[in-house]
Structure 1
């Protein structure tokens, strides 16, 4: 556990264990299973029983005696089968909370050994993003923020899917529409026109139409394959046209990401790995990491523990073209060599499990990843109320911008229904609706474990009641409104009411919740804690008047407690990627 309170108690516990001859037992506090029993628990007696050849209960009694005299401990009580439940003093809780509120890091402890972490999420192709990209962006951004918060050096990369057969399909489709365009002259060396024959809006239809044509006509598929090979071989016209298309698409993609609050340090694509591929393929073959199968190049990645067949990884096709796996291997090499990554995280749909299993094994086998750890952070699908993948009413895949607009529209309707912000300007109302709608989507996604799919019910997601994003936003907006009315009237926290103690203890759990979420690679751990904190804030309001409190010292204490809760809740919502409007 990671609060200031727990760290002090663990220091005292360490001294107690040494005095009992249990210096090899970790001095670690555990969450107390029932809040009414205490604020933390000690399980060291269970571990030390075999070492001392004594009963856990007798060892726990000795630990309780030692901890009873420790600073900040009000009670240390033994509980079967050998636990010690600790209750902290009100003064210790208050001091710890004031320290957390004053800490620029909000009391979130750093890791003892920070790493250089590259996190790969988003992963769009050059066509407009759709609802299928939502989870990668939301989970990836939350993890990026939390990894930074605990001290890692994080580099985020969107890793555009701008290479491979789809590229050839799109270019071949454009050639069919504009056969005389200069980019398709194999002898042309440039310069080529700056104005493209297609617009950014055309990109959404180009690939589906090209794919349909290739499916219906084998000659079109062969043309797409030949175009892909020519592009990868560096034909000047195709290369110039493709670079311009990617730049056009990237601008629209990053606009969508920015609206959702996703930040990228790098916006590299598969094409950026292309210069590495010839040398990489030669290395793989020369070292025996890959073998020839006709003109193709394969890597065997089977392992003795496999329960299912793991086929060889194809890194070069018979026509000489590279695949996604090839660019993934080259990208791992670049991230290790150029970014000095200690860990590379891929936030990608769980249905890509086999692909990453093959690629990771191939990277390790060929020594491309060095000492860097490789992780696939898999997630489930976003489903509609019918339990099937979320789609438009017409049955089509919904675009990401369309989904954001729909959530914003529903948020506007909820604001109007409740008579909220009726005196606000249209600009302020629009901004609030955008923040509420986006938070609704983020929290709906981050409320369940990432590996499970979930049903996205937009009407429920934008509700101000229940476990929703708007509920959390409103909890913070209300705290800020109280503090704005109070001005600078706070004082030292003095805990007298049970609701005050519960709120203070809840606030102090922020650091622990962040570390749990990072360890499990699942932001839902922090989301669950945030809902618990918001619930404690509501109970505090019900039991403890703040601005209406008549006793000046109690009022000042409660204002400071509200400020500490605002700090903790605000920090959590920032880490979850939510933007909070000034009013709701």
Structure 2
């Protein structure tokens, strides 16, 4: 389904051509002055240069043609040559009907079935998720969902950190605590010898301590590096212990991602790419890209035209061990073999931009993939002091604790507002969980992903303003109207007819959803979806307050209003689904 501006652009282009001008001048955009018009065309200004005529004259000729078309309520020239357009109620009603019949609900189908791999999440195993893992997970999930909705074969890969120094640190600390365990012996026999049994609490305590020790004790750090190297080279006892770490870690990760409504098609990790490292080295050798530098293997990346220096990328350290760059390049080989993608999108912290600039350039030089690689950086979640968000004690908060804090705060808010006063405790818990998670996710996603933002749970839980709570409340308000009028949620809208300005405003916001979806995908920026759904919810609120929908005596008007309610609900739920936010029935 074409967006509204695309449809109008074709109509205005025909008008330009009818006047003897190039149809390309007919591009239409959303008006930035809603008090004057809904849409505008600025093509007369470019036309003035091409045809040596005043823009006001060209615009006037085009408007004369447009006024013959009944899709416009108003088409007028504004000096010095703007074409201002406002749609007729009949045409808006027709467009609303088309959207209600569209199975894609205005999401432009631009993917064409092409495969894109979305790399997001990226947690290290052997330790619990913390709040620093929030943004990659929820931004990546939304981008993936939007790509799927637009017709891409979008696959999400968590890209676990499961093969690096953090595993070596855990192995080292465990070896000191349980030196007699067989998995630390040189003669460990897989399948015969037992492995140390771990649990989440133990790993949660072991990793931070091991990390702290490695920063204070060079010998301890060297032991961990050696353990990492031996793991990567297949030491049997360490591999068996690594499998136990994975057995314990993965379910805990899934539990927290499930709470966020985040899912991955593939749970690949650095370990899965390890088997492609040899192939990577061979390719780089064949292309004569590898060099030795102080015992390490590197690839020079500088190119003619670089505005600033770019350091070589290290492929192998002097002890032959791998780095993140090695694994990331090997992962590109793996993805090319597994998916043959047209794009690989990396949703990662903006502070990793230089690293991925190096990885992408090396991959291009080596011809590892034909996919377009994109760095989709995100900013920092800060506390009210403007610094990275911490616990009251100054530590990094576990993600699970943050989500539970939001749930409890939502429950307090709902109880204080007398919402759900008749609900059971189980129902209150369920609603509070969804409201709390929605508050966190919407509060994050409404900011452009590249920007830092202030985390303010009280603000995010407000029933007013640009909050997830407000959006969910709008849905429950529509639910209430439909239930009281005995209208099925899945009923097909029977009539679209506009009677007032508040209806026109709501209709326009629904019509513009396609534009917002298109921009969100092009920019890989879910904040556009948040802005769009807020505008729809806000317009619905005004429509709701202006009209007594349930008590309306005129059946035709009431049916038109209920049709608008049904479509509004459908569109809000579509937006929420793209944001991976669950709705609620009541609140």
Which deviates further from its counterpart, 246-255 or 46-55?
46-55
Which deviates further from its counterpart, 327-336 or 266-275?
327-336
Taking only aligned residues, the RMSD between alpha carbons, in angstroms, comes to 1.8
- 1:184 maps to 184
3-state DSSP of counterpart to 1:292: strand
Residues 1:367 and 1:30: Cα distance change in structure 2 (over 3 Å): same
3-state DSSP of counterpart to 1:326: helix
Aligned equivalent of 2:502, options 499, 503, 519: 499
- 1:480 maps to 479
- 2:58 maps to 59
TM-score between both structures, scaled by the size of structure 1:
0.96
Which deviates further from its counterpart, 124-133 or 179-188?
179-188
- 1:323 maps to 323
- 2:575 maps to 572
Alignment of 1:340 onto 2:340: yes
Instruction: Please show how residues 83-482 of structure 1 align to structure 2 within 5 Å.
Output: 83-111=82-110, 113-126=112-125, 127-191=127-191, 196-369=196-369, 371-482=370-481
Distance 2:203 2:236 in 1: 22
Distance 2:138 2:415 in 1: 27
Which deviates further from its counterpart, 110-119 or 412-421?
110-119
Deviations 1:4-48 (A, max 9, x none): x44442332232233344446264211112123222111222222
Distance 2:367 2:458 in 1: 50
Distance 1:192 1:287 in 2: 45
Structure 2: stretches of 5+ with no match in the other structure:
none
Q: Which runs of 4+ in 1 moved over 6 A?
A: none
Measure how far apart 1:201 and its partner are.
1.8
3-state DSSP of counterpart to 1:389: coil
Deviations 1:363-393 (A, max 9, x none): 1111112x21111111111111121111111
Which deviates further from its counterpart, 412-421 or 456-465?
456-465
Residues 1:295 and 1:24: Cα distance change in structure 2 (over 3 Å): farther
3-state DSSP of counterpart to 2:156: strand
Deviations 1:453-488 (A, max 9, x none): 111111221222222111111011111111121124
Which deviates further from its counterpart, 176-185 or 266-275?
176-185
Alignment of 1:516 onto 2:519: yes
Distance 2:539 2:303 in 1: 50
Measure how far apart 1:134 and its partner are.
0.7
- 1:529 maps to 532
Distance 1:306 1:192 in 2: 57
Measure how far apart 1:75 and its partner are.
2.2
TM-score between both structures, scaled by the size of structure 2:
0.95
Measure how far apart 1:574 and its partner are.
1.4
Residues 1:235 and 1:555: Cα distance change in structure 2 (over 3 Å): same
Residues 1:192 and 1:38: Cα distance change in structure 2 (over 3 Å): farther
Residues 1:113 and 1:190: Cα distance change in structure 2 (over 3 Å): closer
Distance 1:112 1:51 in 2: 35
Q: Is the 8 A contact 2:39 2:84 kept in 1?
A: yes
Distance 1:276 1:248 in 2: 26
Measure how far apart 1:82 and its partner are.
2.0
- 1:74 maps to 73
- 1:553 maps to 556
3-state DSSP of counterpart to 1:35: coil
Deviations 1:532-571 (A, max 9, x none): 1111111111212211222221111111111111111111
3-state DSSP of counterpart to 1:470: helix
Q: Is the 8 A contact 1:491 1:553 kept in 2?
A: no
Measure how far apart 1:268 and its partner are.
0.3
Q: Is the 8 A contact 2:284 2:366 kept in 1?
A: yes
Measure how far apart 1:71 and its partner are.
4.7
Distance 1:62 1:259 in 2: 58
Distance 1:27 1:174 in 2: 69
Q: Is the 8 A contact 1:182 1:192 kept in 2?
A: no
Residues 1:247 and 1:306: Cα distance change in structure 2 (over 3 Å): farther
Equivalenced residues, count: 582
Distance 1:133 1:193 in 2: 36
Q: Is the 8 A contact 1:25 1:48 kept in 2?
A: no
Measure how far apart 1:308 and its partner are.
4.0
Distance 2:215 2:572 in 1: 52
Residues 1:193 and 1:505: Cα distance change in structure 2 (over 3 Å): farther
Q: Is the 8 A contact 1:9 1:70 kept in 2?
A: no
Residues 1:567 and 1:330: Cα distance change in structure 2 (over 3 Å): same
Residues 1:117 and 1:194: Cα distance change in structure 2 (over 3 Å): farther
